[in-house]
Amino acid sequence: MATTRIRFFRNEFGVAASEPAHPDYGALGSMLTSDVQSDVTSCLDVLAWTEDVWHGPDDQNSWQGNSWRVVVDGQGVHLSDLYSDDWTGDYQFSEAHEIVLAYLAFIAPEGPALRTALNTWESEWKRSHPCRDHLG
């Protein structure tokens, strides 16, 4: 899935990086590239935790990564940088979902690797991934 909100690429060291189309998307791009990195399972977790609040059954989910604290509640997805009091991001469910799906497609294009990661995720969580129908 492509998005016009942010561009993901590999920098000169081969590390995932992001370039937002607007500064408002910088926090989400940073969280994905610094906390999720290239871990497909972690990206599937972010999608599931977001979907579980957006469409139920959860009222809220939160987690803390290497650099970001993430809270998903009825209002959307909220990010706060652990090392800077003034870098935050607030996203509607639809835009967060779009960007996280684009990041997943960047780190694991459709194919055997994505299907294997999805099957592993479902085996570990003992349920279908809430995004299975649009993950290919």
Residue-by-residue DSSP string for 21-47: SSGGGHHHHHHIIIIITT-HHHHHHHH
Q: Residue 29: is its pLDDT beyond 90? A: yes
What is the token pair recorded at 7? 């561009």
- Average pLDDT (26-37) is 96
Sequence ranges of the domains in the chain: 6-123
- With CA atoms as reference, report the closest residue to 100 among 36, 54, 53, 9: 36
Instruction: Check whether 110 has a pLDDT greater than 90.
Output: no
Q: What is the pLDDT of residue 50?
A: 96
Has residue 136 got a pLDDT over 80? Answer: no
* pLDDT score of 100 more than 70: yes
Give first-to-last CA distance, the chain, whole Å.
Answer: 11
